[in-house]
Structures are given as structure tokens and as C-alpha cells.
Amino acid sequence: MTELTSANFDASVLASSDLVLVDFWAPWCGPCKLMAPVMEELAGEMTEVVFTKVNVDDHSDIAQRYNILSIPTFLVFKGGQVADQFSGSMTKEALRAKIEKHA
């Protein structure tokens, strides 16, 4: 899973022709910690999707650009555009379903 920064976000997400899932998270966030293993598992299973994450404490400029008000928040990018946004912890199956509808 790729850790995105202000330096690599545009090239990794906006310029990508792949489906990209961006997880906006922070180390102190309990629900974010619950979602981390779910993201890791899906990243291993859904090889057609690029799984990434943004630490909102370290890269608040990216969080502000996308008006991230709560975490975890997930953005699905397709062709460099936001195709979907959803927040909160969920099961692996629920997250997979939300991603697959854009594949």
C-alpha cells in the first residue's frame, strides 16, 4: 500500500489510469486502526485496484483539498476523478462492494 504525500499525490492518483482507493487516516484514529488490516487484505486480493493512504496529520493540505471532515474517509478515483466517497469503518465485504461498483 502506497503512502501518499503532497509530493506524490497528483502523480500517483490524478495521473493514474487505474482505479485508486485513497484512505484518509491518522495514527490516533481508532476506526482507522480497525480498517488498516482490511485495507491490507483487499490490497492483496484486488490487484486491479491501487490501494493508497494519506496521513491527514502529515498532509492536511490534501485532506483540505478534498474537504475531508472525518476519518477514516475513503475516496475512489477513476481516471483521476473522484468517483465515490464514503466514511467510517466497515467490513471487508462492504468495502469490497463499494470499490467493485467502480471497477
Please confirm, yes or no, whether 33 is among the known catalytic residues.
Answer: no
Active-site entry in 29, 62, 95, 99: 29
Please confirm, yes or no, whether 32 is among the known catalytic residues.
Answer: yes
Q: What is the DSSP string of 13-82?
A: IIT-SSEEEEEEE-TT-HHHHHHHHHHHHHHHH-TTEEEEEEETTT-HHHHHHTT--SSSEEEEEETTEE
Active-site entry in 4, 32, 35, 63: 32
Question: Which residues are catalytically annotated?
Answer: 29, 32
